Amino acid sequence: MAQTKLARGPLMEAAVGFALGAVGGCVLGATEDPVDQILSLMTAPELLKPVVEEVRTVGALGLGTLIGAAALTTAMTSVVAGVILAAAMSSVFVATRSCGPSHTHPAGLWASAGLAGAFGTTLSGATLGVAVEWIVRNYGMVGLLWALSIFTVLKPPLHFVLKLLWKQGQACCTLGSVDLARERNQIEITEVQQRQRVAVQVEQRILMLENGGSVSGKEHKTTWESERRQREELERRRMESEEAEMEQRTIQDWINTVVVKHVDFLAFSGIPMTVVAIVTSGLGVFGYGGHQSVLIVLLILVAVIAYLLLKSSDFKFWMLVGCMGMLATFVIAMLTLHAGQVVVTTAMRMHAAGRNQSREIIGARMNQQSSLEALNAAFFVAKLCQLGLGATVGGPLVRRAAGEVKVIVGAALVAVGLLAGVEVLAPALGEGGKAGALLGVVGAAGVSVGAASAVAGRWSSWAGTLGTVAGLVTGALAMGRWHIVNIGLQVPVAYVFAMTNPF
């Protein structure tokens, strides 16, 4: 384990680790009730009706893949929007504020980046949530299918545009580098002037001695002492300037890497699950929504795409998340289909017991249960995705020595502030907007949880690791009102993503 500098001794490490883990766990648990409440509103009969009516159009499998792909696309896009906004803020901060050696590690850098990222993720999630709700209400699942298809087609060109804009922005944000270069030139000019001055003083003393003059020892000593102090000061300034420039370049290179990886992630990670949703929904539109062949096509399609991605010689982070998103979409589709089959099985048992139901009643119940399961499963998977992607930000920040306490506590405070803001703005956001915004809050909480998970692996003793994990789990369960199943799934997902290095 890489030793962290927060504490000394196993007992102190365990205590500090438990406190830090509890902060991350508490903010994760605090999101449970608001998320459950908005999910209950979204699955209310009046809001569920547009979805139920569309099951006949796209079929149970098509509905599951379509809602799952839309929910995961919303989560992934909002995270990328937040990361890009945070990176832009960091780049501007580094360029404009890191121009002096004393500002190589400004606390405001991480604070401004964190606030920008959390705000961007939440705002993007709310916007996409409102858009999805409006499309489903007005155009149904077919409209959502078209919107998802168009967005997927537009993402590769958007990928090119974002990279071009980022390069242009980098060319504009050169103030810090200019200041550092100017300071370096000033130091070099001062050194040349000092060498010339010393050479002139030496020549003057030589001429005085040759002409029979005398040089005061005290004056000579004072002069050379002053020159020595100036040389030391110049050397110190040179070292600090070089360190500041190197630190600025390192941070900027890392920011550029993060942006490039997340822009690639935005452009390509959603394609596998969108292709699956388009194929299964398209078959449903053409009347094969309830046919067994759709399940066979879905299985083959998932297997082929996963094989092609996983066997790639240049395996990238977006491929991993793309496979996971596609498999999650497949699971949602299977749960949606299973919910309808449970209704049929229950009806058959009632028929055997002499309690017959009409085909229309059974069909209506199948559609309702399938829709309910699709929304529940899709929202939970989107929450896991948002949490995991947030953890992929928090974990690397801790490993890059951004400061354990700053990342964990800062992300937790931002998440709590956003949670309060979403509750205040809930009437204006609507159900879809609030759902998307809450996913953004979960992403901010994921940064704190991911940072705590990374800290757990950095202690010099197992006491610190176990203390951090215990604090994380205890805080999450206590604030999450002991939702053992939900928390039990979320914490391992956050840990795995926090330990992943996407860069």
Q: Give the domain ranges of the chain.
A: 10-178+244-499
Spatial contact of 145 and 59, defined as CB atoms under 8 Å apart: no
**CA pair distance 73, 75, nearest whole angstrom:** 5
Spatial contact of 278 and 153, defined as CB atoms under 8 Å apart: no
Q: Tell me what the mean pLDDT of segment 159-170 comes to.
A: 76
**CA pair distance 23, 68, nearest whole angstrom:** 31
**CA pair distance 21, 409, nearest whole angstrom:** 10
**CA pair distance 226, 188, nearest whole angstrom:** 19
Q: Residue 8, Cα to own-chain centre: how many angstroms?
A: 31
**CA pair distance 122, 111, nearest whole angstrom:** 17
Which residue has 């901010």 as its token pair?
444
* Lowest-pLDDT range of 38-52, 300-314, 462-476: 38-52
Pinpoint the alpha helices (H) of 173-216. Answer: 175-210
**CA pair distance 97, 106, nearest whole angstrom:** 8
**CA pair distance 163, 267, nearest whole angstrom:** 11
Indicate whether 177 pLDDT > 80. Answer: no
What secondary structure, in 3-state letters, does 63-129 show?
HHHHHHHHHHHHHHHHHHHHHHHHHHHHHHHHHHHCCCHHHCCCHHHHHHHHHHHHHHHHHHHHHHH
pLDDT for position 121: 87
Q: Is 90 exposed, middle or buried (0-12, 13-18, 19+ CB in 10 A)?
A: buried
- The greatest distance separating any two alpha carbons of the chain, rounded to the nearest whole angstrom, comes to 132
Q: Tell me what the mean pLDDT of segment 33-60 comes to.
A: 82
Which of 2, 45, 182, 114 lies closest to 397, judged by CA?
114
Which of 307, 336, 305, 309 lies closest to 320, judged by CA?
309
CA distance readout (Å), 427 to 12, 49, 124, 432: 46, 21, 18, 11
The angle formed by the CA atoms of residues 110, 491 and 76, to the nearest 5 degrees, is 60
pLDDT for position 182: 63
Spatial contact of 148 and 257, defined as CB atoms under 8 Å apart: no
Cβ burial 3-24 (10 Å sphere, 16+ → b, else e): ebebbeebeebbbbbbbbbbbb
Which of 340, 464, 438 lies closest to 18, judged by CA?
464
Q: Which two tokens stand for residue 168?
A: 């242009």
pLDDT for position 98: 46
Which residue has 């939702």 as its token pair?
483
Contacts of 166 (CB under 8 A, 6+ apart): 256, 259, 263
294-342, pLDDT tens digit by residue? 788 888 888 898 888 888 777 788 888 888 889 999 889 888 888 888 8
**CA pair distance 76, 70, nearest whole angstrom:** 10
Residues in the chain: 503
Q: Where would I find the beta strands (DSSP E) of 197-343?
A: none
79-134, pLDDT tens digit by residue? 888 888 888 887 777 766 544 444 444 566 777 777 888 888 888 888 888 898 88
Spatial contact of 450 and 390, defined as CB atoms under 8 Å apart: yes
**CA pair distance 30, 107, nearest whole angstrom:** 27
SS3 category, 313: coil
SS3 category, 315: coil
Hey, what's the torsion of the CAs at 10, 16, 18, 22, to 10 degrees? -170
pLDDT for position 91: 77
Helix (H) or strand (E) holding 279: helix 271-283
Spatial contact of 412 and 448, defined as CB atoms under 8 Å apart: yes
pLDDT for position 104: 43
SS3 category, 248: helix
238-265, pLDDT tens digit by residue? 777 767 677 777 777 777 777 888 888 8
Q: Tell me what the mean pLDDT of segment 470-479 comes to.
A: 89
Q: Tell me what the mean pLDDT of segment 385-405 comes to.
A: 83
**CA pair distance 102, 476, nearest whole angstrom:** 39
Count the alpha carbons within 13 Å of 332 in the hemisphere toward its beta carbon.
32
Check residues 501 and 307 and name the one with the higher pLDDT: 307
Q: How confident is the model at residue 465 (pLDDT cuts 50, 70, 90)?
A: confident
